[in-house]
Amino acid sequence: MIITFILAFLFPFCAFAQNNLTESSTSYFDPSAKINITYPYENMPMPNVPKTFVFGQVAVSTGIFYINGEKVEIYKTGSFLAYVPVKNSAFESVLFDGYSTHTYIRKVVLPQIKEEPKDKLFINLISPSKNMEIMPGENFIIYAKASPGLILLCEIEKEDFPLKETPSLSGNYYGVYAAKETDAGKDLKFSFKFKKGIFSHNSKLNPSLYVRVLKNSYQIKTSTDSVILKNSPTGGYSMFLPKDVVLKTTGKIGGYYRIEAGGKELWIEDSKASFLSPYPKKTDAETGNLVFLSSQNTVTAKLAIWDKVPYSAYALGNDFYLDLYYCDLRTNWVIYDSSDPYTVSAFFRQNPFDTASYKLSFSQEIKGYDIDYSTNSLILTFRFNPKYSGKYPKPLEGLKVVLDPGHSPKRNPPFDGSVSPSFYFEYEANLVIAKKIKEKLEILGASVYMTRSGEENIPLAQRPLLAKSFQGDIYISVHNNALPDGEDPFAKPRGFSVYYYHPNSLPLAREIHSAFVKNINLPDEGLRFGDYHVIRQTYMPAVLIENAYMIIPSHEEILKSEDGINKFAQATAEGILSYLKIPIQKNESFKKDGEKNAKNKRSGKNNR
C-alpha cells in the first residue's frame, strides 16, 4: 500500500519567508533540485521497522532541515544522513534556506500486517508450508494457528488425529504424523475439522500442498559448477561441488533436496541439480593410486577414481584434509616426485558411512588449492609461497595480484551495491581505489590484473573464476560499506573493516588490517571472518576490504578526495608488503611516484 504523507507542520519562521512549497517524487538525483533524497528510492519496499536511515543532498549546507518532524544535520558539502521515524509510508523533508521553504516527499511501500479475525473462527496452516518428500518411518510436524479453545483434528489418509493447543488458549496447535510403510508412493494431503461450542466446521487448507512418501531414495546430479550444499535449507555452507557429481537424495522440502553423504544430512537447491535415476545410489566408487608431481611453487596430486563423488575438503596450515563419500578406499600405491620439495606424506583410511579419508602433509603452509575432476581422476593442485624479487626498487616483481572492484554499473534502483548521498555509486568508488592500488603495486613491480577496468558488468560468480584464470597469487576485493534498512548509522563508530574466509587468507587480511589501522583516520571496525562469495575461493589468499561507508557524508568526502583515495591504496599496498615480509621503506619510490602521478594528472600531464 502506498500512502502519501501530507505536510502537517510548518516552521514558525516560515511566516516571515517567501514560501516555495513543492512536492517531488522523482526516483533519481537532480543536481538542480533544492532537496534530493537518494535513499530510500521512490516506492522502495521497506521492512516493518519504526525508524530507518535516509540520506541525500540539499542545495544549501547552511539551511535548516527536517525530515518527518526531526531536525537533520547537514554536512558542509550539503550531504546529509538521518535516522528518522517511518511515518505513513513517506519521508517528508522541509528545508529553509534563509529565504524560502522547500519541501520534498519521498514515498515508500510498507508491508501490510495481516491481523487474524477476532470475531469469527479461523485456522491457518503454518507447517508444512511447502511440498515435502520424506521416507517411510519419518515424522513430520503439523503446526496450525487457529481461534483459541478449539477442538482441532487433522485428517490424513482418512485418519483423524488431534492437534494439541500449546500453551492452553494460545491459538497454537501442534501434532506429529509418522509416515507408514503403507504410505510409500502416496501424496499425503491435509484437511481439518474443528469444533467450538455447538459450531463444527470442516476445512481443506491449501489443497495443492502435499507430503510425498518415497518408496526409496533416488539419485540426482549437480547441474552446474560451484554448487553449494548446506546443513539445512536456511543453514550454513558445508560443501562446494563441481558439475556432474552424483548425489543420493532421501527427501525434499520446497526447492531443496535432502542429501545423505557420510552420515550427514545436507541440502541442495533443486535448481542446481537434475534428476538422474529413481533407484538408490550404490557404493561402487573406488579410489586408486595417488601420484604427486611438483612444478615451480605448485604440487599436483592425482588420485585415480572413476566416478564423480561428493567430497569435503579444507586446508589448515601445512595439512590438507579430504573426505570422499559413496566411496571404497582402494589406494594401494602412492608415488612421490623425487624433485618435489613440498610433499611430506600422504595418510588415508576407510571411515564409516562409505567415506574414504585422506590427509596430505607438506613442508610449507598451503597458500591455495584447487579441486577438479578429469575423466578418471580427482586432480588436487596445491600452491605454496609465490616467487617474487623481494628487493627494491621492484620487490614485488614476479608477483601476480588480482584486484576486484566490487559491483557493476546499475544507475537505476535497485542499485548494485551502495550509493552515496550525492549519488556517487559504490561501483565507481571501488574502481577508483582499485586503479590507485594497481598504480602503486605496479611501481613495486607486481603484475596486476583487474576483474573490471571500467563500466563492464561482471557477474559475481565470474569474479573468482577470472582471478583463477589470471593465476593470481593474491586476490583483493575492493568495496565500500552500507547498512541494512532500519539499522541506526549513529549507534556506534563506523569505519573500515577487512574480511577473510579460509584460514590461509587470515595472515594477508591481518597485515592489511594493521596497515589500515596505521594509515586510515577512521574508526576500526575490525578484522573479520566474512562469508562472501568472492573470498570463498580456495585458489589463492583472498581478502575483501570495506574502506569506508558510502552513506556517511564525511566518508563520502574522503572517498571523493585524491588524498583519501591515495591513503586507502597506500594502506592496501603496505599490507601486501608486510604479508610478504618485505620491509616498508618510508620514502620508497612507489609513494613518491604515486604522488607525482597524482600531480601530473591534476596539471594535465602524461594523460593518455
**pLDDT, tens digit (0-9, with 9 covering 90-100), for 211-259:** 999 999 999 999 998 899 999 999 888 999 999 999 999 999 999 999 9
Q: Which helix (H) or strand (E) holds 441?
A: helix 426-443
DSSP lists the bridge partners of residue 321 as 314, 359
Which 8-state DSSP code applies to residue 291? E
- The string of pLDDT tens digits covering residues 259-271 is 999 999 999 999 9
- The string of pLDDT tens digits covering residues 485-544 is 999 999 999 999 999 999 999 999 999 999 999 999 999 999 999 999 999 999 999 999
The SS3 call for residue 134 is strand
pLDDT at 2 over 80: no
Pairing type for strands 327-328 and 285-295 reads parallel
Pairing type for strands 237-241 and 227-230 reads antiparallel
% of the chain surpassing 90 pLDDT: 77
| Dihedral, CA of residue 116, residue 117, residue 122 and residue 128, to nearest 10 | -10
Max Cα-Cα span within the chain: 94
Banded model confidence at residue 10, pLDDT cuts 50, 70, 90:
very low
Query: Among all chains, which residue has been given the C-alpha cell 559491483?
Result: 407
- Residue 160 in grid coordinates: 483423524
Banded model confidence at residue 603, pLDDT cuts 50, 70, 90:
very low
Cα 597 from Cα 590, distance rounded (Å): 10
**Cβ within 8 Å of residue 217, ≥6 positions away:** 135, 248, 249, 250, 260, 280, 281
pLDDT at 279: 85
Reference 86, options 113, 48, 57; nearest CA is: 48
Banded model confidence at residue 594, pLDDT cuts 50, 70, 90:
very low
pLDDT at 600 over 70: no
pLDDT at 97: 85
pLDDT at 598: 44
Banded model confidence at residue 587, pLDDT cuts 50, 70, 90:
low
Distances (CA, A) of 95 to 22, 61, 67, 504: 11, 10, 9, 52
Distances (CA, A) of 476 to 381, 405, 456: 21, 9, 18
Reference 408, options 463, 369, 449, 447; nearest CA is: 463
Three-class SS of 162-196: EEEECCCCCCEEEEEEECCHHHCCCEECCEEEEEE
Banded model confidence at residue 161, pLDDT cuts 50, 70, 90:
confident
Given a contact cutoff of 8 angstroms between Cβ atoms, the answer to whether 512 and 538 are in contact is: no
- The string of pLDDT tens digits covering residues 366-418 is 999 999 999 999 999 999 999 999 999 999 999 999 999 999 999 999 999 99
pLDDT at 16: 32
**Cβ within 8 Å of residue 264, ≥6 positions away:** 231, 238
- Provide φ and ψ at 127, rounded to 5°: -145, 135
**How many Å from the N-terminal Cα to the C-terminal Cα in the chain?**
52
Q: Round the CA-based radius of gyration of the chain to a whole number and report it.
A: 30
Distances (CA, A) of 306 to 284, 328, 331, 391: 9, 12, 13, 47
Distances (CA, A) of 514 to 275, 312, 546: 50, 33, 14
Cα 160 from Cα 508, distance rounded (Å): 62
- The string of pLDDT tens digits covering residues 133-154 is 999 999 999 999 988 988 888 8
- Provide φ and ψ at 489, rounded to 5°: -70, -15
Give the E-state strand segments of 97-245 in sequence order. 100-109, 123-127, 132-134, 139-146, 151-156, 159-165, 172-178, 187-188, 191-196, 199-203, 211-213, 218-222, 227-230, 237-241
- The string of pLDDT tens digits covering residues 57-71 is 999 999 999 999 999
pLDDT at 25 over 50: no
Cα 545 from Cα 529, distance rounded (Å): 12
Query: Among all chains, which residue has been given the C-alpha cell 589500515?
Result: 516
User: Which domains does the chain show, CATH number per domain?
Assistant: 12-109 (2.60.40.10), 123-213 (2.60.40.10), 218-277 (2.30.30.40), 285-383 (2.60.40.3500), 400-603 (3.40.630.40)
DSSP lists the bridge partners of residue 315 as 320
Q: 53: how many CB neighbours lie within 10 A of its CB?
A: 21
pLDDT at 225: 87
- The string of pLDDT tens digits covering residues 168-219 is 999 999 999 999 999 999 999 988 887 766 556 666 666 688 999 999 999 9
Cα 68 from Cα 78, distance rounded (Å): 19
Vertex 18 angle, CA 17 and 22, to 5°: 120
Phi and psi based region of residue 488 (left: phi greater than 0; alpha: psi -120 to 50; beta: remaining)? beta
Amino acid identity for residue 531 in this structure: D
- Provide φ and ψ at 97, rounded to 5°: -95, 10
pLDDT at 591: 57
Cα 163 from Cα 136, distance rounded (Å): 22
